[in-house]
Amino acid sequence: MTLSPCLYCQQIEVPRTREHVLQAAFGASATLPSEVCAECNSAFSPLDKAFLEAVQFYHLGENMLRGLGLGRAVLQDGTAVNARHRADGNGEFLPQLYEVTPTEWRFLGHRESDFHTMLRELAEPAALQIKCEAVRPDEGTPRLTIVRSAPGVYLIQGSSADLLERFAGQCRSNGFRPDWCGEPFEHSSHESPAIKFDTSLALEPFSRAMAKVALNFVCYRLGAAIAGRPEFDAVRRYARYGDGHFADFVVPTVLNHTLGDCLAGFVTPEHRAALYLMGSTADGNREAVFLGIGGKTVGRVDITRDRSGLPPGTWLLTRFHKAQGGVEDLTLPDDMPRALLNPEVFGLQDIWPLGGARR
């Protein structure tokens, strides 16, 4: 059997591997058995990981506590200190020493025993594991902070790289001098402090992963010959090599909230994820794939620009069932008569609430 060129690098004589149309972690079982080569599949792994983590965090609210990790809370005097969410959803201050003046430090924590433990461990630098982190010198942020994250494991934060390097070197060689501590213990009265987290969404890997899913879907539903057409070369190069800018191809829902409900009529709560391929619009300038995960639209991928690459009238929908783990491939408008008669079968009851017969 003669294999078609790899969907992304367009090479023929290269080892092949199975590629999931949509990341398997979203409950999508559809695959491309041999249309993507092993090298391209491997190159997509970090993009898939970034996409998975971003969707879980920003769209589904999953792994929020693990994703947030260490945050900042502001004390009554305006000092910004370290805090974290516990598994029960409440907040707590980590045991920490922060600089008030170059010769005065203050401890913050819930137990006085943690203060004495920190001083004992910091007096034995050879046994310490120290990591460093530069923090923004915002108002209220101490110049230096020492955070105990585990026995013998410390994070030193500093407002400048030079200061951080000098102080960390001193702690590694000579330890921390306990006589620097002024008022040594403050017990927080806040059981659940308000914690502020800095988060960011890296749009390029997120968007490239979406572009890959979109072209995968074209190949899955319409075959490698159509997905390999030159009209898709721009989105192909963007997905594989990052050629171009994400705004040329991808519209994430986080940047365009009007996309949020565009799949609502096609995806019911029973569907873990869905992919919707729309052919040319009336002006013939857009062919797009919409991605829906967890009942929410993640965004749109414009797979062609100016020239049509799809067969006329293309309107395809694939849904992945959460409970059964199955795949449902629908072709519209071929299925439109059944959808009009029985919209609930397709999850279209919100669009045609007055449809006719019901099963």
For the cut 70, the answer to whether the pLDDT of residue 327 exceeds it is: yes
Which has more pLDDT, 342 or 289?
289
The backbone region for 185, taken as left when phi is positive above 0, alpha when psi lies in -120 to 50, beta otherwise, is beta
Segment 175-184 shows an average pLDDT of: 77
In sequence order, which residues have a C-beta less than 8 Å from that of residue 159 and are 6 or more positions away?
134, 135, 136, 137, 141, 142, 143, 144
User: What was the pLDDT predicted at 197?
Assistant: 57
Question: Helices 233-241 and 203-222 meet at what angle, rounded to 10?
Answer: 130
Q: Are 314 and 303 in contact (CB under 8 A)?
A: no
pLDDT band at 328 (very low <50, low <70, confident <90, very high): confident
Average pLDDT, the chain: 81
User: What was the pLDDT predicted at 282?
Assistant: 44
Every domain of the chain and the residues it spans: 16-61+201-346, 70-187
**For the chain, counts of helices (H) and of strands (E):** 8, 17
For the cut 50, the answer to whether the pLDDT of residue 65 exceeds it is: no
User: What was the pLDDT predicted at 324?
Assistant: 64
Beta strands 296-305 and 286-293 are antiparallel
User: What was the pLDDT predicted at 359?
Assistant: 25
User: What was the pLDDT predicted at 356?
Assistant: 33
For the cut 70, the answer to whether the pLDDT of residue 270 exceeds it is: no
For the cut 90, the answer to whether the pLDDT of residue 230 exceeds it is: yes
Segment 22-50 shows an average pLDDT of: 92
User: What was the pLDDT predicted at 245?
Assistant: 93
User: What was the pLDDT predicted at 38?
Assistant: 96
Over residues 140-162, the pLDDT tens digits come to 999 999 999 889 999 999 999 99
Segment 211-238 shows an average pLDDT of: 95
Range among 50-59, 182-191, 202-211, 314-323 rated most confident:
202-211
Segment 300-317 shows an average pLDDT of: 85
Over residues 24-34, the pLDDT tens digits come to 888 888 999 99
Phi, psi at 295, each rounded to 5°: 80, 5
pLDDT band at 305 (very low <50, low <70, confident <90, very high): confident
Which has more pLDDT, 196 or 326?
326
% of the chain with per-residue pLDDT over 90: 38
For the cut 70, the answer to whether the pLDDT of residue 243 exceeds it is: yes
pLDDT band at 351 (very low <50, low <70, confident <90, very high): very low
Phi, psi at 179, each rounded to 5°: -70, -5
Nearest to 30 by CA among 159, 221, 164: 221
pLDDT band at 355 (very low <50, low <70, confident <90, very high): very low
pLDDT band at 238 (very low <50, low <70, confident <90, very high): very high
Of 44-53, 137-146, 193-202, 341-350, the poorest mean pLDDT is in 341-350
